[in-house]
Homo-oligomer: A and B are copies of this chain.
Amino acid sequence: MSIKEGLHKKAGIIEAQLNTYFDTHDNSYQKELHDSMLYSLLNGGKRIRPVLLIEIGELFGAKKEDLIDFACAIEMIHTYSLIHDDLPAMDDDDLRRGKKTNHIVYGEAMAILAGDGLLNFAYELMTEVSLKKNSYNYLKAMKEISKAAGHQGMVGGQVADCLSEGKVGTKETLEYIQLNKTSALLTCALTAGGCIAGVSEMTLNDLRKLGTAVGLAFQIKDDILDIESNESVLGKPIGSDEKNRKLTYPSVFGLEASKAKVRELTDEANRILINFDGDTTFLESLVNYLCNREY
């Protein structure tokens, strides 16, 4: 099985689980909200964050059934951020993964509320699981996720991204945006998986370094694809960063330096991974795939 097929199979498990949380037949009002939440949630993402959470958790001895709710919670947080990012007041995007964005289908008000609903539901779910398991490890995982998703993480990065549009940006600003807007949530998928498995502080630190390397490589690759790919492969218009005058790695350092940086970060990630005990074959392939992907 190729890594693409392997990832697709694991993504299928996440999607099946995501589908179990919403009863779209319960109430005429909630139905439209649930439809809107599920529309974006099931819009064919790669499920990188939840898959990483589960893979790392399993690598360090946790069971899939003890990891999957938190994995889905991270995917909900990721999805809410995409719905809000796509809004007219933000990036004003009509397409996401080849499909109409949430507000194009459900209207702006519902898109805002669907995002709010997903963010809140992620915490509702994590709280319920933590309560059921009554274990310190889950609360630790929730802390990793809440810090990464918030004003000192993803939301902060998104603000910096918005504020930097159309301005001449510094390397420091670029680093702040990439570390917080993308890397933070990807990193917390790894550390949350580690927390649930009860890893040591030393391993948590390694997971943080790994997440930062993979997150930065992933984002720079994203920026490269926005220049070099095409709309039918990417599922969204290319050249949008240049159009919106976004601060990206290629816009500051150029395309060749960006490609070299992706290679450097991929190597770093692999160096960390092979030092872990246990079978890291899939994780290594996943990291290489993410950093060399075509979309």
Contact = CB atoms under 8 A, between A and B. Distances in A.
Interface stretch (A2-10, A44-52, A129-137, A209-217): A129-137
A160 B29 CA distance: 5
Contacts of A159: 29-30, 32-33, 110, 113
Interface string A73-115: 0000000110010010110000000000000000111101101
A258 interface: no
A176 to B, nearest CB: 7
Interface string A255-287: 000000000000000000000000000000000
State the main secondary structure of chain A at its contact with B.
Answer: helix
A126 to B, nearest CB: 8
22 contacts: A27-B156, A27-B176, A29-B156, A30-B156, A33-B151, A33-B155, A34-B151, A84-B112, A89-B112, A109-B162, A110-B162, A115-B116, A116-B116, A116-B155, A117-B151, A119-B120, A120-B155, A121-B151, A123-B142, A124-B143, A127-B139, A134-B139
Contacts of A124: 143, 146-147, 150
A42 interface: no
A123 B110 contact: no
Most buried by B among A116, A120, A136, A143: A120
Contact of A140 (B27, B108, B131, B155): B131
A161 B17 CA distance: 30
Interface in A136-174: 136, 139-140, 142-143, 146-147, 149-152, 155-156, 158-160, 162-163, 173
Given A127-B142, A151-B30, A108 B89 contact: yes
A119 B116 CA distance: 8
Most buried by B among A109, A136, A150: A109
A294 interface: no
Given A120-B146, A123-B146, A143-B131, A152 B30 contact: yes
